[in-house]
Structure 1
Amino acid sequence: MAHIVVLGAGLGGTLMALEMRKEARKTDTVTVISDYPTFHFTPSNPWVATGWRTPDAIKVELAPMLSKKKIGFIQSAATKVRPADNAIDLANGETVTYDYLVIATGPDLAFDEIEGLGPHGGFTQSICHVDHAANAKEKWEEFCANPGPIVVGAVQGASCYGPAYEYALILDTDLRKRKIRDKVPMTFVTAEPYVGHLGLDGVGDTKGLLESEMRNRHIRWITSARVKSVSDGVMHVEEVAEDGSVKQAHDLDFKFAMMLPAFRGVSALQGVEGLVNPRGFVLADKTQRNPNYGNVFSIGVCVAIPPVANYPVPVGVPKTGFMIESMAHAAAKNIRSLMDGEEPRHEATWNAVCIADFGDGGVAFVAMPQIPPRNVNWSAEGGWVHLAKVAFEKYFIGKIRRGVGEPFYERAVFDMLGITKLKEKA
Structure 2
Amino acid sequence: MAEIVIMGAGLGGVIMAYEMKDQMRPEDKLTVVTKDPVYHFVPSNPWVAVNWRTRESIEVDLAPTFARRGIAFKAVPVSKVMPDENRLQLEDGSTLRYDYLVIATGPELAFDEIEGLGPNGFTNSICHIDHAEKAAANFEAFCANPKPIVVGAVQGASCFGPAYEFTFILDTELRRRKIRDRVPMTFVTAEPYVGHLGLDGVGDTKGILESEMREHHIKWMTNSRVKRVDDGKMTIEEIAEDGSVKGTSEIPFGFSMMLPAFRGIAPLRGIDGLVNPRGFVLVDKHQRNPKFKNVFSVGVCVAIPPVGPTPVPCGVPKTGFMIESMVTATAMNIGQLLRGKEPTHQGTWNAVCLADFGDSGIAFVAQPQIPPRNINWSSSGKWVHAAKIGFEKYFLRKMRKGSSEPFYETAALGMLGIAKLKKVSTG
State how far apart, in whole Å, the 2-side matches of 1:238 and 1:89 are.
42
Confirm or deny that 1:309 pairs with 2:308: yes
**Cα deviation 1:77-130 (Å, max 9, x = unaligned):** 11111100001111111110000000000000000000000002x000000011
What is aligned with 2:252?
253
Partner in structure 2 of residue 59 of structure 1: 59
| Residue pairs, 1:408-419, within 5 angstroms | 408-419=407-418
Partner of 1:200: 199
Which residue number in structure 1 is paired with residue 237 of structure 2? 238
Supply the distance in 2 between the matched residues of 1:228 and 1:406 (Cα, whole angstroms).
44
Q: Secondary structure at 1:84's aligned position in 2?
A: coil
Deviations 1:164-217 (A, max 9, x none): 000000000000000000000000000000000000000000000000000000
TM-score normalised according to structure 2 size: 0.99
Q: Which residue of 2 aligns with 1:262?
A: 261
Structure 2 distance, partners of 1:320, 1:375, is 18
Q: Cα deviation per residue 1:321-380 (whole Å; 9 max; x = unaligned)? A: 000000000000000111111111100000010000000100000000001000000000
* 3-state DSSP of counterpart to 1:300: coil
Residue 247 of structure 1: SS of its match in structure 2? strand
Structure 1: state its 5+ residue gaps: none
Q: Could you say which residue in structure 1 is the equivalent of 2:68?
A: 68
Give matches, 1:347-358, under 5 Å: 347-358=346-357
Give the aligned partner of residue 323 of structure 1.
Answer: 322
Aligned to 1:33: 33
Q: Secondary structure at the match of 1:411?
A: helix
> How far, CA to CA, are the matches of 1:124 and 1:249 in structure 2?
19
Whole-angstrom distance in 2 between the partners of 1:276 and 1:65: 31
Report the CA distance between 1:425 and its aligned residue: 2.4
1:19-418 aligned at under 5 Å gives the runs: 19-120=19-120, 122-418=121-417
One-letter amino acid of the structure 2 residue matched with residue 81 of structure 1: V
Aligned sequence identity (%)? 66
TM-score for the superposition, normalised by structure 1:
0.99
* Deviations, residues 32-55 of structure 1 (Å, cap 9, x unaligned): 111011111111110011100001
For 1:26 and 1:129, how far apart are their aligned partners in 2?
36
- Secondary structure of 1:52's partner? coil
Question: 1:214 and 1:248 mapped to 2: Cα distance?
Answer: 22
- Following superposition, the deviation at residue 60 of structure 1 comes to 0.0
Look up the equivalent residue of 1:187 and give its one-letter code: T
Look up the match of 1:421. Answer: 420
- Helix, strand or coil for the counterpart of 1:301? coil
Tell me how far 1:76 sits from its aligned partner: 1.0
**Structure 1 residue ranges, 4+ long, deviating more than 4 angstroms after superposition:** none
Q: CA deviation at 1:131?
A: 1.0
Structure 2: stretches of 5+ with no match in the other structure? none
Structure 2: distance between partners of 1:63 and 1:247: 53
* Aligned match of 2:17: 17
Cα-to-partner distance string for 1:208-254 (whole Å, 9 max, x where unaligned): 00000000000000000000000010000001010111111110100
Distance 1:160 1:263 in 2: 9
Instruction: Count how many residue pairs are aligned between Structure 1 and Structure 2.
Output: 425
Give the C-alpha shift of residue 420 in structure 1. 1.3
Aligned to 2:266, the other structure's residue is in SS state coil
Q: Supply the distance in 2 between the matched residues of 1:368 and 1:73 (Cα, whole angstroms).
A: 35
Residue 310 of structure 1: how far off its partner (Å): 1.1
Deviates more, 1:201-210 or 1:241-250: 241-250
Partners of 2:218 and 2:354 lie apart in 1 by: 21
Give the letter aligned to residue 199 of structure 1: G
The 3-state SS of whatever aligns with 1:30 is strand
Counterpart AA for 2:43: P
Deviation at 1:424, TM superposition (A): 2.1
> What is the distance in 2 between the residues matched to 1:149 and 1:199?
27
Deviation, 1:419, is 1.0
Q: Deviations over 1:370-400 (max 9, x none)?
A: 0100000000000000000000100000111
C-alpha distance in structure 1 between counterparts of 2:270 and 2:79, whole Å: 12
- Post-superposition shift, 1:298? 0.1
CA–CA distance in structure 2, aligned partners of residues 53 and 26 of structure 1: 40
